[in-house]
C-alpha cells in the first residue's frame, strides 16, 4: 500500500515527531480492517498550534475555542456508499482529505491523561483518519462504532497500549 502524506508544519514543534510515518501506519491499518482493495491513498495534514486550530474551529465549526484535531473529508462517507471514487489525483492516489492537529492541545491532554505524547498523537490521528473515512460521533450508535474502530486500530499498532479516556 502506498500512502502519500503532505504535512504543513505551521508549528515547528511537530517536526520532533515523525507524523508521516504514524499516519501511513495508522491509515494502512484502517484500510486493512475495512478490507479496502485500493492501495494508493493521499492525505494532507496541518501540524499546528492552538492559535491556528482555534481559528479553523471558529471558521468551520462556529466554535470559538481550540480543539485537538479537525478533519475535512474529501468525499462524504464514500466507504459506506457504493459509488465511484472521484477524488483521484493525477497519479491515481485517492485523496481522503485534510487533518489539522494542535500541538498544545495534544500535549496538555496527554499529560492530563498520563499517556505518552506519541501514543496520544496516534489516538488523535486515528480519530481524524476515521472522520476522513466517513465515521462520525454525532449519535451514540455511530460514536460507539467509531470508538470501537479507534481502539481496534490503536491496539494493533501500539506496543504500549494506554487506556484512552473519551474527550
Among residues 41, 106, 23, the alpha carbon closest in space to that of 79 is found at 41
pLDDT per position as a tens digit, 3-46: 899 999 999 999 999 999 999 999 999 988 888 777 788 999 99
Q: Residue 35's pLDDT is what?
A: 80
Name residue, grid cell 468551520.
60
Alpha-carbon span 67 to 101, nearest angstrom: 8
Q: What is the value of pTM for the model shown? A: 0.84
DSSP strands (E only) in the chain: 2-9, 40-48, 69-73, 94-102
- Helices 140-157 and 19-33 cross at an angle (nearest 10°) of 120
pLDDT of residue 87: 54
- Cβ contacts of residue 46 below 8 Å, gap of 6+? 7, 8, 10, 52, 56, 98, 99, 100, 101
Q: What angle do CA 106, 116, 108 make, to 5 degrees?
A: 30
Residues 1 and 33 sit within 8 Å (Cβ to Cβ):
no
For the stretch 67-102, pLDDT in tens is: 999 999 987 655 544 445 455 555 678 889 999 999
Question: Could you tell me the three cell numbers for 76?
Answer: 462524504
d(CA 107, CA 111): 6
CATH numbers and ranges of domains, the chain: 2-157 (3.40.390.30)
The Cα 34–Cα 38 span in angstroms is 11
Amino acid at each position: 500500500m502506498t500512502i502519500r502524506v503532505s504535512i504543513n508544519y505551521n508549528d515547528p514543534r511537530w517536526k520532533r515527531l515523525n507524523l508521516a510515518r504514524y499516519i501511513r501506519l495508522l491509515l494502512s491499518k484502517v484500510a486493512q480492517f475495512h478490507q479496502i482493495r485500493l492501495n494508493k491513498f493521499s492525505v494532507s495534514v496541518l501540524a499546528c498550534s492552538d492559535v491556528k486550530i482555534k481559528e479553523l474551529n471558529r471558521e468551520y465549526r462556529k466554535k470559538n475555542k481550540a480543539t485537538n484535531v479537525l478533519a475535512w473529508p474529501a468525499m462524504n462517507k464514500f466507504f459506506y456508499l457504493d459509488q465511484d471514487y472521484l477524488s483521484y489525483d493525477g497519479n491515481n492516489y485517492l485523496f481522503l482529505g485534510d487533518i489539522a492537529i494542535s500541538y498544545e492541545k495534544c500535549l496538555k491532554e496527554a499529560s492530563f491523561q498520563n499517556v505518552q505524547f506519541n501514543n496520544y498523537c496516534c489516538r488523535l490521528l486515528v480519530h481524524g483518519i476515521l472522520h476522513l473515512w466517513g465515521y462520525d460521533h454525532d449519535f451514540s450508535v455511530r460514536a460507539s462504532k467509531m470508538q470501537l474502530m479507534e481502539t481496534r486500530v490503536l491496539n494493533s499498532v501500539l506496543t504500549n497500549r494506554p487506556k484512552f479516556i473519551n474527550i
